[in-house]
């Protein structure tokens, strides 16, 4: 049975977006610019930004792609909270104005576009990919894994690299060398993967002072994560595993290394 | 042509940005009371060891004083807050599994409280 739609009032409802602008080739300092957009029940902040770019101000620059919460491109600060703008509905803010800013803790290239080189560099540093325990030729078949083995790391594999956790993390804001929630969660994802054999290769970086031990378990990363990865859990569990491994190396130095 | 990137500094009052961060900072500050109480217990053990008249003087001059009682009540509140928030965070740190399934976080929390209760009762029995 079709839902009956609410009758639209004859005057169109509108919303105000206060958008962070930074045009380095023209202006020394950043500023906020106000735009008025139509309010629609099913619109998200990204729809409003697209309306602005299409109908009002073509100079506005920002990243977006899938518009359905899987690519991680459209992360921005919405009223001071890191959000995927494709998942932030206007109706949750109406009729109050919405302030849109680039993700905090990252340098701004232009308008709402941040420089994410630091994050990409950290992913590489932590070798966030499978380094197989045993090399197999294609003809030898797949690397098999039980559902229980998959379950140990599946949650941490849901990360879409949106960097909302970095924007929320005060430690990353105060110490940019910190590897950060997503990179460590992804390293943990591969360390827990039964097919992977590179835990000891990653260990020095993971357990460095800029790694897991920089984290003070604030928990903001997990609170803002749109995919419920729970990076705070990944980091704390990595601390436990790292401590156990250290004790093993001290008490059983002849023991087999993972 | 590479343009100048804007680097924004973190405000000093970052921890007032939302209630979660404020709660985190309060929890961190309660650590002073936790360590303070641990030092106090070490001093108590030392005084008990001295025995006799020295302990009597310590008991009446220090332990029975108004400021000591006030410190005790304040410590109880902060140490309690610190302990409760730590136990509630336990499922994040320990994530035991049963096959494919994660064990209910409430079971982990209950186990922590249960152990706390058992150890507290054991200490009370020894002390009393």
Please name each of the domains of chain A with its CATH number. Answer: 14-114 (3.10.20.30), 117-251 (1.10.1060.10)
Out of A104, A109, A147, the one facing B8 most closely (by C-beta) is A104
**Is B39 in CB contact (< 8 Å) with chain A?**
no
Q: Across all residues in chain A, what is the average pLDDT?
A: 93
**Is A113 in CB contact (< 8 Å) with chain B?**
no
- Tokens read off for B51: 């025995």
pLDDT digits (tens, 9 = 90+) for A190-200: 999 999 999 99
Instruction: Look at the pTM and tell me if it is higher than 0.90.
Output: no
Separation CA A63–CA A27 (nearest Å): 21
Tell me the chain B residues in contact with residue A244 when contact means C-beta distances shorter than 8 Å. none
**Is B3 in CB contact (< 8 Å) with chain A?**
yes
Tell me the chain B residues in contact with residue A103 when contact means C-beta distances shorter than 8 Å. none
- At residue B64 the predicted structure's pLDDT band, cuts being 50, 70 and 90, is confident
Out of A105, A220, A237, the one facing B21 most closely (by C-beta) is A220
Separation CA A16–CA A100 (nearest Å): 11
Instruction: Compute the average pLDDT of residues A6-15.
Output: 66
DSSP secondary structure letter of residue B9: P
The candidate with the shortest Cα–Cα distance to A188, out of A145, A148, A159, A222, is A159
A106 contacts B10 by C-beta, under 8 angstroms = no
**Is B74 in CB contact (< 8 Å) with chain A?**
no
pLDDT digits (tens, 9 = 90+) for A147-184: 999 999 999 999 999 999 999 999 999 999 999 999 99
The candidate with the shortest Cα–Cα distance to A85, out of A110, A62, A108, is A62
Task: Count how many pairs of residues, chain A against chain B, have C-beta atoms within 8 Å.
Answer: 69
Boundaries of every domain in chain B: 14-93
Separation CA A230–CA B116 (nearest Å): 27
Instruction: Compute the average pLDDT of residues B30-55.
Output: 88
The candidate with the shortest Cα–Cα distance to A78, out of A50, A45, A56, is A45
């Amino acid at each position: 049975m079709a839902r009956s739609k609410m009758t639209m009032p004859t005057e169109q409802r509108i919303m105000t977006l206060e958008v962070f602008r930074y045009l380095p080739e023209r202006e020394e300092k950043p500023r906020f610019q106000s735009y008025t957009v139509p309010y629609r029940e099913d619109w998200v902040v990204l729809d409003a930004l697209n309306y602005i770019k299409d109908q009002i101000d073509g100079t506005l620059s920002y990243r977006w792609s899938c518009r359905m919460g899987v690519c991680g491109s459209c992360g921005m600060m919405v009223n001071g909270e890191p959000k995927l703008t494709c998942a932030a509905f206007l109706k949750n803010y109406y009729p109050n104005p919405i302030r849109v800013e680039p993700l905090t803790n990252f340098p701004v290239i232009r308008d709402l576009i941040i420089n994410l080189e630091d994050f990409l560099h950290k992913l590489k540093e932590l070798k966030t990919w499978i380094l197989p325990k045993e090399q197999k030729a294609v003809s030898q078949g797949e690397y098999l894994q039980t559902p229980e083995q998959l379950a140990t790391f599946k949650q941490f594999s849901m990360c879409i690299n949106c960097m909302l956790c970095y924007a929320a993390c005060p430690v990353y804001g105060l110490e940019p060398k910190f590897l950060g929630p997503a990179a460590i969660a992804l390293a943990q994802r591969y360390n827990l993967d039964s097919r992977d054999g590179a835990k000891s290769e990653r260990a020095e970086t993971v357990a460095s002072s800029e790694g897991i031990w920089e984290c003070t378990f604030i928990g903001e990363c997990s609170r803002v994560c749109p995919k419920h990865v729970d990076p705070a859990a990944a980091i704390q569990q990595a601390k436990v595993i790292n401590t156990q491994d250290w004790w093993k190396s001290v008490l059983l130095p002849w023991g087999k290394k993972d | 042509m590479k343009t100048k990137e804007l680097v924004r500094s973190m405000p000093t009052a970052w921890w007032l940005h939302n209630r979660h961060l404020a709660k985190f900072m309060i929890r961190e500050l309660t650590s002073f009371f936790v360590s303070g109480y641990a030092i106090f217990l070490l001093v108590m053990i030392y005084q008990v060891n001295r025995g006799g008249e020295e302990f009597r003087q310590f008991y009446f001059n220090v332990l029975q004083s108004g400021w000591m009682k006030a410190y005790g009540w304040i410590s109880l509140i902060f140490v309690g807050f610190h302990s409760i928030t730590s136990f509630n965070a336990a499922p994040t740190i320990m994530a035991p599994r049963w096959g494919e399934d994660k064990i209910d976080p409430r079971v982990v929390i209950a186990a922590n409280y249960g152990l706390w209760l058992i150890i507290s009762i054991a200490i009370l029995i020894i002390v009393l």
